[in-house]
């Protein structure tokens, strides 16, 4: 029995150390991907290779050689077709020499005898694209009066140019037997080179044919990697952040009633298309646990708010950076955004029919875990009925329990008694300063009935007489409303949302205005953003209602029970780590695979020099940084001293964005250049844009501030030559002034 027990124990231990099937498959896939990358890299010309420049000649038009060589040059490495490439080069040089001997004297003769005021004599070396030929094109260049002039002997050798069928091309096209022979040799060499390149590519395709799945995997992985690289780099530059994802709480007390209360929280939200560093971007903080009914003036930012929320939620649940300072995003099962609808003549539907069709889909698909964003609901039909339809849809979405925003200019919604439990009234703020009403683009509590319609029309260039007439009609309409409502004092009440001393507020005031339209002359017509005398107000909504809405502090507000028990807050929980799949394992293995070194710098001497410079770089900068850290000069909490290398075809990681760096590059001649920058990616691109510098390697080190970078740059320029390392920019070693605060 003891032997059997030991055997079972041994078997179980073997099973523990046996690699899983997923690990074996991942290793096989990594090996296969490496073989594919090596095969392609050894055959295909990579970006930055400059050994296959198209031939050029000062006498022959460049279009000729571009047309003949661009289809096959730069596709495979020259070492695989060295003989064919050499033949093309020799044939092109021979053609250029023959053209110079046979055509150049004639061209010089034509220029010598031509009158500067105009002459019938013309002659030049031209490219005939249709016949892929270089010929002499001219007229009136063989006058008998110029028999003794230079070039006369060459003119005698000219013959009419013929096409492939032996027909004369034209009266102005000429060639010589030597030029035709050189052209034929060049065409033949080009044809052979083209065939050789195709043969090489076919051989590569046949070799990789059985590895199509791995090629597709590599292509997709490369695309994803480049996209993530660009996204994170730009996100760091714009100060975006990674959000915290929250799972919906299945144990919520309101699950039985059909609504799980969850909160979308975004701090410092900015429209993703704006850069806050350039100014003009207004930040907003959003705490959304239910449906918002959003009102605001034209140009107040309602549509931008919806787009920003949608983009933030979508980027967040994809695990990407979001345009905010902080974000907690529930894991929505769907994100639904509805913007302006257009008509569909093919389906025989108007814009309102299309909107209703889309809203039907939204109502059917939305759940209590959905984010629903609807811009300008029911604006394509008659106002009163559209208001009622919108109100009914809002009640339905509220009963579903989804999170979202419904923006509208249908102010009648604010006067209806909606059967809602969680709806919250929000507005895009406005501020009144110097008798002008302007949007603040801030999301605040309450409602806003001001549309700034007249100001918007005038701002967009609508003639003043039309806007003035609109004001008259509006005044007449309001008079009728006052008479019908039995208003005795003949005044309007404003429900305009105004910021008071830059504080968010919901005010209600009563303003009496004399409606004297004759005062609206071009000289005193209100300027853009200035308040016109006719300002609407909240008719039925009471101050207590506004106060109840204004006191919304992250909990769900119920209009009918504003002071009673609130819905319990959902605990914030971060998403749990999911077990890694075989694809995750494969990607992790690929990420640890060493990258290929620069082929241009494989010489032992250059590699040895680069290693020596790396050691000197770390020791010199590390010593100085530790000294500064000991002197309490550096403000960084932890000092990390390490050097990174950027090889051929590589770019610096996103972590260097908006960071100060000291760098050393190795020139093609083996010498070194020392520099410092706050934009390492841009500096590397600038260096590699120089001819022959496409594959230069870089060493870099992140440092705490530009001033420290300048000091370390000067230190390296002075220290490296003492170690036998040749530095080219020795003029920068005389810097003396460095700051000490960051």
Q: Nearest-CA neighbor of 280 among 264, 304, 296?
A: 304
Q: Which long-range contacts (CB under 8 A, 24 or more apart) does 320-323 make?
A: 320/231, 320/235, 320/242, 321/231, 321/232, 321/235, 321/236, 321/240, 321/241, 321/242, 322/240, 322/241, 322/242, 322/243, 322/266, 323/238, 323/240, 323/269, 323/270, 323/271, 323/272
Do residues 657 and 513 share a domain? no
Six-digit token string for 569: 């807050």
Q: Are residues 194 and 99 in the same domain?
A: yes
Angle at CA of residue 100, ends 96 and 103, nearest 5°? 120
Residue 50 resides in a domain? no
State whether 353 and 305 are in the same domain.
Answer: yes
Of 510, 538, 561, which marks where a domain is finished? 561
pLDDT of 641: 81
Q: Please, is 437 exposed, middle or buried when counting C-beta atoms within 10 Å of its C-beta (0-12, 13-18, 19+)?
A: buried
> Domain check: are 636 and 707 in the same one?
yes
The DSSP line for 216-236 is HHHHHHHHHHHHHHHHHHHHH
Residue in this structure with the two tokens 């507020």, named with its chain if needed? 505
Residue 46 belongs to a domain: no
Residue 239: inside a domain: no
Do 475 and 613 lie in a common domain? no
Cross-strand pairs, 444: 427
Residue-wise pLDDT for 403-435, tens only, equals 999 999 888 888 888 899 999 999 998 887 777
Specify burial of residue 423 (Cβ count, 10 A radius: 0-12, 13-18, 19+). Answer: buried
Residues 186 and 293 in one domain: no
Q: Of 158, 187, 209, which closes a domain? A: 209
Establish if 34 belongs to a structural domain. Answer: no
The residue length of the chain stands at 742
Measure the CA angle with vertex 716, ends 714 and 721; round to 5°: 115
- Supply the CATH number for residue 391's domain: 3.40.50.300
In a domain, 570, yes or no: no
**Assigned token pair, 366:** 């939305």
pLDDT at 227: 92
* Number of structural domains found in the chain: 3
Report helix, strand or coil for 371. Answer: strand
**394 & 439 share domain:** yes
Long-range Cβ contacts of 256-259 (<8 Å, 24+ apart):
258/368, 258/399, 258/400, 258/401, 259/368, 259/400, 259/401, 259/421, 259/422
Residue 45 lies in a domain: no
Buried b (16+ CB within 10 A) or exposed e, 290-325: bbbbbbbbbbbbbbbbbbbbbbbbbbbbeebbbbbb
Q: What is the largest CA-CA distance in the chain?
A: 123
Separation CA 313–CA 315 (nearest Å): 6
155 located within any domain: yes
C-alpha–C-alpha distance, residues 288 and 425, integer Å: 11
Distance CA 401, CA 254 (A): 10
Identify the domain containing residue 605 by its residue range.
599-734
Q: Which residue has the tokens 């694809």?
A: 583
* Same-domain check for residues 646 and 510: no
In-domain check, residue 585: no
Q: Reduced to 3 states, what is the DSSP secondary structure of residue 327?
A: strand
Q: Report d(CA 734, CA 736) in Å as an integer.
A: 6
Q: Which residues of the chain, if any, have pLDDT below 70? A: 1-22, 24, 47-51, 114-120, 141-151, 249-261, 485-603, 632-639, 732-742
SS3 at position 243: coil
Q: Which residue has the tokens 């050691």?
A: 615
Q: Are strands 326-330 and 244-246 parallel, antiparallel or unpaired?
A: parallel
Q: Residues 557, 603: one domain?
A: no
Are residues 543 and 603 located together in one domain of the fold? no
Of 570, 572, 555, 568, which is closest to residue 262 (Cα–Cα)?
A: 570
330 & 447 share domain: yes
Same domain, 189 and 259: no
Each residue of 126-159: pLDDT tens digit?
999 888 899 998 877 666 555 566 667 778 888 8
Burial 610-624 (b: 16+ CB within 10 A, else e): beebeebbeebbeeb
Strand ranges, E, within 368-456: 370-374, 403-407, 424-433, 436-445
The pLDDT, as a whole number, for residue 597 is 41
């Amino acid at each position: 029995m003891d032997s059997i027990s030991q055997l079972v124990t041994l078997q179980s231990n073997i099973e523990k150390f046996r690699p899983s099937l997923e690990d074996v498959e991942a290793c096989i896939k990594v090996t296969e991907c490496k073989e594919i990358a090596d095969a392609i890299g050894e055959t295909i010309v990579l970006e930055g290779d400059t050994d296959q420049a198209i031939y050029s000649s000062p006498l022959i038009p460049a279009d000729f050689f571009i047309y003949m060589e661009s289809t096959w040059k730069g596709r495979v490495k020259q070492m695989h077709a060295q003989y064919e490439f050499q033949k093309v080069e020799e044939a092109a040089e021979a053609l250029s020499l023959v053209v110079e001997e046979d055509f150049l004297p004639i061209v010089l003769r034509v220029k010598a005898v031509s009158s500067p005021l105009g002459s019938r004599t013309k002659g030049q070396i031209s490219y005939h694209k249709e016949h892929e030929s270089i010929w002499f094109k001219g007229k009136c260049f063989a006058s008998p009066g110029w028999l003794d002039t230079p070039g006369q002997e060459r003119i005698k050798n000219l013959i009419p140019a013929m096409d492939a069928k032996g027909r004369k091309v034209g009266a102005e096209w000429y060639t010589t037997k030597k030029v035709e022979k050189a052209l034929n040799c060049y065409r033949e060499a080009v044809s052979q080179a083209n065939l050789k390149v195709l043969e090489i590519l076919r051989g590569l395709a046949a070799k990789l044919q059985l590895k199509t799945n791995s090629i597709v995997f590599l292509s997709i992985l490369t695309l994803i990697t480049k996209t993530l690289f660009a996204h994170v780099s730009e996100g760091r530059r714009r100060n975006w952040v990674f959000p915290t994802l929250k799972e919906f709480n299945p144990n919520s007390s309101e699950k039985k009633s059909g609504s799980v209360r969850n909160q979308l929280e975004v701090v410092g939200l900015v429209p993703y298309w704006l850069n806050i560093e350039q100014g003009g971007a207004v930040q907003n903080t959003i705490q959304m646990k239910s449906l918002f009914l959003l009102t605001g003036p034209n140009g107040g930012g309602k549509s931008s708010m919806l787009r920003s929320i949608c983009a933030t939620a979508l980027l967040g649940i994809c695990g990407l950076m979001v345009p905010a300072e902080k974000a907690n995003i529930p894991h929505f099962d769907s994100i639904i955004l509805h913007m302006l609808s257009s008509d569909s003549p093919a389906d025989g539907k108007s814009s309102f029919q299309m909107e209703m069709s889309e809203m039907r889909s939204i109502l059917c698909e939305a759940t209590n875990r959905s984010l629903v964003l609807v811009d300008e609901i029911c604006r394509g039909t008659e106002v009163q009925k559209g208001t009622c339809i919108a109100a009914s849809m809002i009640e339905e979405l509220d009963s579903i329990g989804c999170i979202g925003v419904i923006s509208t200019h249908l102010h009648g919604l604010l006067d209806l008694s909606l059967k809602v439990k969680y709806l919250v009234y929000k507005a895009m703020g406005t501020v009144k300063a110097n008798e002008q009403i302007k949007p603040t683009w801030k999301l605040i509590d309450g409602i806003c009935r001001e549309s700034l319609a007249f100001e918007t029309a005038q701002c967009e260039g609508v003639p003043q007489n039309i806007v003035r007439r609109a004001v008259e009609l509006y005044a007449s309409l309001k008079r009728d409303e006052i008479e019908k409502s039995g208003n005795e004092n003949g005044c309007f009440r404003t429900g305009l949302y105004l910021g008071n001393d830059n504080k968010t507020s919901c005010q209600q005031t009563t303003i009496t205005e004399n409606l004297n339209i004759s005062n609206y002359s071009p000289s005193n017509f209100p300027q853009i953003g200035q308040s016109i005398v006719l300002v609407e107000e909240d008719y039925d909504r009471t101050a207590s209602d506004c106060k109840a809405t204004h006191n919304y502090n992250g909990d769900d507000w119920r209009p009918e029970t504003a002071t009673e028990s609130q819905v319990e807050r959902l605990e914030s929980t971060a998403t749990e780590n999911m077990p890694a799949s075989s694809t995750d394992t494969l990607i992790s293995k690929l990420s640890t695979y060493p990258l290929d070194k620069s082929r241009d710098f494989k010489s032992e001497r250059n590699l040895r020099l680069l290693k020596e410079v790396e050691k000197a770089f770390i020791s010199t900068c590390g010593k100085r940084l530790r000294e500064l850290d000991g002197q309490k000069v550096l403000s960084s909490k932890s000092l990390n001293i390490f050097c990174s290398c950027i090889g051929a075809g590589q770019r610096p990681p996103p972590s260097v964005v908006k960071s100060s760096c000291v760098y050393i590059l190795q020139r093609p001649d083996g010498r070194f250049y020392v520099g410092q920058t706050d934009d390492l990616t841009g500096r590397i691109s600038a260096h590699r844009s120089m001819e022959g510098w496409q594959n230069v390697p870089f060493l870099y080190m992140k440092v705490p501030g530009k001033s420290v970078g300048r000091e370390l740059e000067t230190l390296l320029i002075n220290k490296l030559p003492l170690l036998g390392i040749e530095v080219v920019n020795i003029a920068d070693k005389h810097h003396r002034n460095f700051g000490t605060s960051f």
